[in-house]
Amino acid sequence: MEVYFSTVVRDAPPDQGGELVWMDWETKRIKGRVPISARDPDLNDLFPGSSTRGGRGIQVLDDKVVVASYHTLKVFDRELVHQYDISNGLMVGLHETCMDGSDNVWASCTNIDAVIQVNLNNGNILNQYWPAEMPEFQKYFDISPMKVDRSVDNRLLFMDISRYKQNRLHLNALATWQGEMYGLLAKLGSVVNLDARKVVFEDPALRGGHNLIIQEDGTAVVNDTYGRAIRAYDMKTGSINRIIRLNNSARVRKIVRRYLFWELFSRALYKTKMISRTPPRALFLRGMSLMDNLLFVGVSPATILCIDWHNGNLLDMYSYSKEIRVCVHGLKAVNGKY
């Protein structure tokens, strides 16, 4: 089994902000890695956080590996030889992506709360969703749409997301199920059906969450990023089925303890305004891939956890970095042969 994952390095220069890594899971051997940065257009280093850094969502299609940077879908072969890039004026703050069984990839353009479908062969935009412009969501969430001119290049216009907190949904993860598109509105802790324009379920624990996987039986799996847990919901009823708490594992608790003093100290500095931004957090969940009975979860510092999906037990783990600023963002487990 092979695992592809991307990293984000907080406070790093933009051209050193993260990587795409290819590894053999059984041997834990790194088989390849390449730096990922947002180029063409280059980004001015105005926002030192991770909002423009490194790699984001990953998809693997036959002989292609597609990883998102801040404004570009970068296409590699399975051995991480770069093939080509796809970008356009609506790719702003790309986060997670998903496939629909074709040569098209769906991307969440988080900074402008949009979803676009792009053909991997020619780069054409085939479909779009703008949930903040849908009257049903405007009424339900009491929101107003952002002012986005779709005819211009928006890639450098919405980098400072703090300016748009008022009306933002922070749509950062996507999944298709039964032919319809679903999205995670992380700011609101909601999973919505973008075709039917309705809320499927809400949970305050999912505010700030990442990743959305919907299994064939209608089980939706979401990363509870701040709660250090995996939550599973019934798409038909909206009820929660189970919670896998990562802190139940002694090996995972050891990660938290290792950085506990530093985290408490740095958060005290933030609260007293001695530092201007929230510090990185140990066991910050980003990245998730479900393959058969194995659930792979990315955390910080850049570590991958392998969990038995049926019983929730930790089976294995791999630490790529012990530096708290480095976190996993995108994650995809695949069979080694293609």
| SS3 call for 222 | strand
Return the amino acid letter for 309.
W
Under a CB-based contact definition with an 8 Å cutoff, are residues 145 and 138 in contact? yes
Show the tokens assigned to 262: 């530093």
Under a CB-based contact definition with an 8 Å cutoff, are residues 183 and 97 in contact? no
- pLDDT of 256 reads 84
User: What is the pairing mode between strands 294-299 and 125-129?
Assistant: unpaired
- pLDDT of 333 reads 97
Considering the entire predicted model, what is its pTM? 0.93
Under a CB-based contact definition with an 8 Å cutoff, are residues 197 and 141 in contact? no
- pLDDT of 308 reads 97
The enclosing domain of 205 has a CATH number of 2.120.10.30
Residue 39 phi, psi dihedral angles, 5° rounding: -125, 160
Give me the torsion for CA of 151, 156, 161, 163, rounded to 10°: -80
Contacts of residue 304, Cβ cutoff 8 Å, sequence gap at least 6: 3, 5, 287, 296, 297, 298, 317, 318, 320, 328, 331
Contacts of residue 167, Cβ cutoff 8 Å, sequence gap at least 6: 132, 143, 144, 145, 146
Helices (H), the chain: 135-141, 250-271
Kindly provide the b/e burial profile for residues 1-21, where b requires at least 16 CB atoms within 10 angstroms of the residue's own CB: ebbbbbbbbbebebeebbbbb
CB atoms within 10 A of CB 314: 17
Q: What range does the domain containing 258 cover? A: 2-334
- pLDDT of 165 reads 57
Under a CB-based contact definition with an 8 Å cutoff, are residues 148 and 89 in contact? no
Spatial CA neighbour of 192 closest among 111, 138, 242: 138
- pLDDT of 298 reads 97
Residue 132 phi, psi dihedral angles, 5° rounding: -70, -15
Q: What is the pLDDT of residues 150-175, one digit of tens each?
A: 999 998 888 766 555 555 799 999 99
Q: Hey, which residues does 61 pair with through a beta bridge?
A: 64
| SS3 call for 203 | coil
- pLDDT of 105 reads 96
Task: Give the count of domains, the chain.
Answer: 1
pLDDT beneath 70: ranges in the chain:
44-50, 160-167, 275-277, 337-338
